Amino acid sequence: MISVTVDQPGRPGPAPTSPQVRTARTEDAPALHALSAPFVRSGALRARPPEHYRAHAGRFLLVEGDGEGSVRGCVALRGAEPGTAVLYNFCVAVAGQGRGIGAALLFAACARARAEGRRALFTATTGSARLFVRYGFRPVATVGAPPGWAARLDPARGSRVLRLNL
């Protein structure tokens, strides 16, 4: 399990707090897919088949739900060009929003990226981006993002690209 909090204003860093974040396991794939489904339907997330969650479970961080096999929130971290990583599939169940789950996931992803030697973290969002901006992410032009990842962004979705220097 990974516990995190803010160690500098506007900058995520490790320290103890709850909720508890852990790396997903293969058996979490159905719950990750189910958590993501409403966000896919709303257009906030891209559709990914259940096999994606199974094949890439180790990329996902999650906060467990109250019932066995349930997940309250998740985010995936994928390496991009050298020194950078990308956050994707960031979602928190509606019932868990406003309870620190998104912040805990974000902090844990930043800690993992730093541990991997990443210097910059990117994400794209169709939402308000308030959480990201609150913790130091700044909007950047798509041309400033990792080219392979940026090329796969769908302009029709209206995503904003954000960057955090680690």
Over residues 62-74, the pLDDT tens digits come to 999 887 778 999 9
pTM: 0.85
> Cα(116)–Cα(43) distance, rounded to whole angstroms?
31
Give per-residue pLDDT as tens, 135-158: 999 999 988 899 889 888 888 888
3-state secondary structure of 33: helix
Higher-scoring residue by pLDDT: 22, 128: 22
Which DSSP string corresponds to 97-119?
TTTTHHHHHHHHHHHHHHHTT-S
N- to C-terminal Cα distance for the chain? 21
Task: Return the CATH number of 4-118, one of 3.40.630.30, 1.20.1090.10, 3.90.660.10, 1.10.1660.10.
Answer: 3.40.630.30
Task: Please report where in the chains the tokens 């790396």 appear, as a residue.
Answer: 23
Check if the beta carbon of residue 81 is closer than 8 Å to that of residue 93: no
